[in-house]
Amino acid sequence: MTDARAEVLLPTQELRDDLPFWTKRLGFRLDMIYPADDPEVAVLSGHGLRLRIQKGAPTAPGIVRILTDDPSFADGAKTLTAPNGTQVDIDELNPPLVLPATEHAFVVRRLADQAPWVIGRAGMMYRDLVPSRLGGAMIASHIRIPDGGPVPDMVHFHRVGFQLIFCIKGWVDVLYEDQGGPIRLHAGDCFIQPPEIRHRVLEASDGIEVIEIGVPAEHVTEIDHEMILPTPHLRPDREWQGQRFVYNVAANGTFQPHRLPGFVARDTTIHANTKGVASVMAARPDGKETRWTKHDGDILFTFVMAGGMMLHGEGKDPYRLSPGDAFVIPPGLATRYAEATTDLELLEVSLPGNPPTTAL
């Protein structure tokens, strides 16, 4: 491969004024300067960046961002201006994850309303299930890949507090850090991706569809260019920020009484493996009478996987729900699921897990 270097070009009026700022104040290294008798060009490197400062360069001074974990860097300054006019912003290298307070709302999102599908990462198509994002507290996406085959993905990870992948149609193969070889997720199965676990999507069937829940709504996806998957070690008990990887297979689950009268549910073990951060249940009617209830949790999201029902909310218009529809019930709002078809299947995600529920 041919050797190549990239440089950022910055203008200057007088190099003698700029060099002390970049080298002494900001810790850049001087790599090149010329001509010797009256320097007009200097090349510096530092903090993963290579700068070419050139007298009279036909470009704007621009902005340079430096990310560091050292609070004393540049004497603690957050914004500086170089003699040549370049603005230097200094920020945290690894800022803490911020979880916005939930802006509670009663949300119903129906597939029949024809919300747009947009093309996202790795060519996958995304449909937003909670447009308000509850004030940034969470994102819920309906994701599909119309044409199956290999997925052009890279080893990556997400800076999140919680992330769920629940397959509702087709299958997908994924590699996960310290979890062995490729794992195939079928309809009804789910993964919990603990914070910052490295993974890569390999291949998917035609028409694969998954529901992805992420907390918070805005989170960073980073590419890991160093890690090779699969990793050599199998460590199923490893924890990432207190959470374990979960691969839950629908065929192995059993249904138990649900928090809602008239329903039974299959526990995906996510509550136990996240230490209560979240619960994920697959629920269906048991043929008994349903009742009005209200919960005292924070986020309660539900997606209709199959069948249909009427959703009643106190003071709200009733909604006839069908496959592909989703809704969020805020704490304290009385609701009732009625007229459920015998084939109704619901995906219920609650944060924190197992919300206290009162039958009215």
Convert the pLDDT of each residue in 316-346 to its tens digit: 999 999 999 999 999 999 999 999 999 999 9
Rounded CA gap, 315 and 185, in Å?
Answer: 40
Rounded CA gap, 153 and 164, in Å?
Answer: 18
Q: Provide DSSP, 205-266.
A: -TTEEEEEEEESSS-EEEE-SS--SS-S---TT-EETTEE-EEE-GGG--EEE-SSTTEEEE
Q: Single out the residue of 105, 110, 104 nearest to residue 311, CA to CA.
A: 110
Alpha helices in 252-360 (DSSP H): 270-273
Q: Is 61 left (phi over 0), alpha (psi -120 to 50) or beta?
A: alpha
**Res. 27 pLDDT band, cuts 50 70 90:** very high
| Torsion 207-348-188-182 (CA) sign | positive
Output the pTM of the full model: 0.89
Q: Which CATH superfamily is domain 113-250 in?
A: Jelly Rolls (2.60.120.10)
Q: Single out the residue of 225, 286, 298, 222 nearest to residue 260, CA to CA.
A: 286
The answer to whether residue 267 scores a pLDDT higher than 70 is yes
Quick one: which H or E segment has residue 165?
A: strand 162-169
pLDDT at 44: 97
User: CATH number for the 252-359 domain, one of 2.40.40.20, 2.60.120.10, 3.40.630.40, 1.10.10.10?
Assistant: 2.60.120.10
Q: What is the mean pLDDT of residues 167-196?
A: 97
pLDDT at 1: 56
The answer to whether residue 281 scores a pLDDT higher than 90 is yes
pLDDT at 122: 65
**Res. 183 pLDDT band, cuts 50 70 90:** very high
The answer to whether residue 280 scores a pLDDT higher than 90 is yes
What stretch(es) of the chain map to CATH 2.60.120.10? Answer: 113-250, 252-359
Say how many Å lie between the first and final Cα of the chain, rounded.
Answer: 70
Tens of pLDDT along 111-136? 988 778 888 766 778 999 999 999 99
Rounded CA gap, 347 and 360, in Å?
Answer: 23
The answer to whether residue 65 scores a pLDDT higher than 90 is yes
**Backbone Cα Rg of the chain:** 26
Q: What is the mean pLDDT of residues 155-178?
A: 97
Q: What is the mean pLDDT of residues 171-184?
A: 97
Q: What angle do CA 48, 96, 129 make, to 5 degrees?
A: 105
Please give the CATH number for the structural domain made up of 8-92. Answer: 3.10.180.10
